[in-house]
Structure 1
Amino acid sequence: MKISVIIPVYNAEKYVTQAVESALQFSEVFEVILVEDKSPDNALQVCQNLAEKHERVQLYQHPDKGNHGAGPTRNLGIEKSSGDFIAFLDADDYFLPNRFDAEKELFKNPDVEGVYGALGVHYYSEKAKEQYYSLFGDRLTTVYKRHIPQEVFPGQIYMLGSFGLFSIDALTIRRDSLMKKMNPLFKSSLRLHQDTEFLFRLSYYLDLYPGILDKAIAVRGVHEDNRITLVDSKKINPATTRVLLWKEVNDWASGESTMPENIKKHIKRMHRSFEIGCAPLPKKWGMILKYLFIDYPSIRSGIYNINFRRNLF
């Protein structure tokens, strides 16, 4: 295997060295691609040092040296990659020694286009644990059961809570399949949830197989400067970002001629549910009355959505 590990770097001078070294432990890792996204800290200098020290580490920036967000930054890394397989790693996370154990066997089958595994969690400080333990706990982020590839996309769309999730950090993709079937790759229109939207489309177009689900193969590093800090501090409204996410998913699904109509309708209702939940109170009730008459199932699906209920009540 020749694996390209893509690491977008933003505000991660304290953590990126650990991320890089966790990837370099594997002989299968052909290259580590750092894409620095105009960090406000000293991350660029740290990345330059890593590229000078390690032959397998390459460093890039956007042509304008600007900040473009995680999606376009990952896209640039994919463009620059030359391995047969793509793996992603956030700069404040790290791989565990079993990261590619399942992949080495599963990718011997040419029908396997992607493999996903379980993600663990590590708190870099007691303050971070105090802030985010209720969100992450000590749980694995994983799909809870082993599913055939055809079940992965509808499982995420219909049964997000009971189906489980897989993470970018625990995903490995066959590069040829990614480039042939995914256009666009990560969407630049989403600053948050761009990985969720990407994974929805990826699981629709590619045959993804479960790898190691009962133990972590990578670790999410939680600290006070995570992107989720902005959501937690109310600088970013989580409901608003989910409206944008489901709008993107709905726009994509509505133009996908091969997608079953029942799934398209469900996606449309999810979008409307978040749209109503995020609206100001007078507009919220107006939208509810409107949809009660023209699209009652949108309201019904909203009632079963916890974020919709929180925003409504």
Structure 2
Amino acid sequence: MKVSVIIPVYNAEKYVSHAVESALQFDEVYEVILIEDHSPDNALPICQALSEKYERVKLFQHPDKGNHGAGASRNLGLENATGDFIAFLDADDYYLPNRFNAEKELFKDPSIEGVYGAIGVHYYTEKAKKQFYYIFKDRLTTVYKKHPPKEVFPGQLYLRGSFGLFTLDALTIRRESLKKLNYYFKAHLKLHQDTEFLLRLSYYLDLYGGIIDQPIAMRGVHENNRITQVDTKKIDPATTKLLLWKEVNNWAQNEKNLSPEIKLHIARMYQSFQIAMAPMLKKWILVTKYLITDYHSISSGIYNINFRKRLFF
């Protein structure tokens, strides 16, 4: 079993060494592919040092050496992977010693195209725990019981709350099976590109549960990871969910083998986010209009009463 572990790196100078070394502990890991995504911190020299220290660590950047996001970085990793299997790891997360225990056995069956497991939570600081414990608590992120592979896609689509879900950190895929997908990650999605990818993946591939009653990897929670950006409104969660379901709907309507019932369900999901976003979009249009036509009144503090009524009530 030769596994390529793909790690996109952005703003992770404090964590990437731990992530890499947690992957290198396994003989099954054939290579660790670091995609340095023009980090504003000291991540690049740390990645360079890791690639020089460890023969199995390979470092890549985008051709223009710019910042292209997690989706594009994972795509670049997939293009350069040479192992028979693909695994993913975020640069601020890490693998546990049992990461590939189930995979080593399950992948002896050539019909199994992917295996997913459970991940736990590690809070790097007390501040992070205090701030984000209400989101993750100490629970596992996992599919709650083992299901036949044909139930995984509808379970993820219809029953996420009761079915559970799996994440990239706990997923291992046959590289050959990825040819069933027309494309990998949608790079233009700044958030939820992993959710969109996993949904399509569970439709095209036969995925099996591995270790789901204990973690095989840990999600690192700290003040500067993506979930904190959503929480502090640096990224608007409503907008990102709307963009996610727009992409899922585009895929569903163009997938000829998808049932009409599933296509309708996905279309309704997308429409529900459109409806939810409509009042917000109207307010932004209103703000833009007033900034253009009545900027002097707004900037001078003489607020138009009608503007305030329409914006806030």
Residue identity (%): 73
The separation in 1 between residues aligned to 2:124 and 2:5, in whole angstroms, is 23
The separation in 2 between residues aligned to 1:147 and 1:108, in whole angstroms, is 19
Which residue of the partner structure matches residue 85 of structure 1? 85
Which residue of the partner structure matches residue 53 of structure 2? 53
Which residue of the partner structure matches residue 267 of structure 1? 266
Gap regions ≥5 residues in structure 1: 285-313
Which residue of the partner structure matches residue 117 of structure 2? 117
The separation in 1 between residues aligned to 2:253 and 2:188, in whole angstroms, is 18
Instruction: Give the C-alpha shift of residue 197 in structure 1.
Output: 0.1
Q: Does 1:219 align with 2:218?
A: yes
Aligned residue pairs, count: 283
* 1:225-304 equivalences in 2 (<5 Å): 225-280=224-279
What letter matches 2:82 in structure 1? Answer: S
Q: Does 1:62 align with 2:75?
A: no
The separation in 2 between residues aligned to 1:281 and 1:29, in whole angstroms, is 47
Instruction: Give the C-alpha shift of residue 282 in structure 1.
Output: 9.3
What letter matches 1:255 in structure 2? Answer: N
What letter matches 2:93 in structure 1? Answer: D
With normalisation by structure 1, the TM-score equals 0.89
Structure 2 CA distance for partners of 1:126 and 1:110, relative to 1, 3 Å: same
The separation in 1 between residues aligned to 2:193 and 2:208, in whole angstroms, is 21
What letter matches 2:242 in structure 1? Answer: V
Gap regions ≥5 residues in structure 2: 284-313
Which residue of the partner structure matches residue 150 of structure 1? 150
Deviations 1:131-182 (A, max 9, x none): 110000000000011100100001111111111110000000000001x111
Which residue of the partner structure matches residue 171 of structure 1? 171
Which residue of the partner structure matches residue 209 of structure 1? 208
Instruction: Give the C-alpha shift of residue 188 in structure 1.
Output: 1.2
Instruction: Give the C-alpha shift of residue 283 in structure 1.
Output: 5.8
The separation in 2 between residues aligned to 1:236 and 1:283, in whole angstroms, is 19
- RMSD of aligned residue pairs (Cα, Å): 1.1
Deviations 1:210-254 (A, max 9, x none): 000000000000000001111111121101100000000000000
Which residue of the partner structure matches residue 197 of structure 2? 198
The separation in 2 between residues aligned to 1:171 and 1:162, in whole angstroms, is 20
* 1:14-29 equivalences in 2 (<5 Å): 14-29=14-29
Secondary structure of the equivalent of 2:238? Answer: helix
The separation in 2 between residues aligned to 1:188 and 1:9, in whole angstroms, is 15
The separation in 1 between residues aligned to 2:83 and 2:32, in whole angstroms, is 10
